[in-house]
Amino acid sequence: MTLQEYDYARESPSKLAASCLLLALTMKNLGGWTPTLEYYSGYSAQDLHPLVKRLNFLLTYQPRGKLNAVRSKYSHRVFFEVAKVTPMDMLKLEETLTNS
């Protein structure tokens, strides 16, 4: 979904991927950012928190008429309907990231 947003073009692809993984782990209650993930990604959880919050906020956007292709593609079950994922409550996300 970040493909449609110019604000994310300046982010490092590796940091964006790591932040997406941390958000997914948090949303699915699959644990936090482990030392192994930190070692191999090169990012600490604290480095990723601001971007994780922005990504979660991005999930609240409604599709725009002309920029609907990516959302439509990833709303299909072939891609596990990831574009339809409900964002986390921002306060709960903040609490979860702070405590991990």
What is the tens place of the pLDDT at every residue in 22-46?
A: 999 999 999 889 999 999 999 999 9
CA distance 81 to 93: 21
Q: Tell me: pLDDT of 51 over 70.
A: yes
Place 80 in a pLDDT band, splitting at 50, 70 and 90.
confident
CA distance 79 to 21: 16
Q: Has domain 14-90 been given CATH number 1.10.472.10?
A: yes
Listing DSSP states for 9-56 in one string gives TTS-HHHHHHHHHHHHHHHTT-----HHHHHHH---HHHHHHHHHHHH
**Boundaries of every domain in the chain:** 14-90
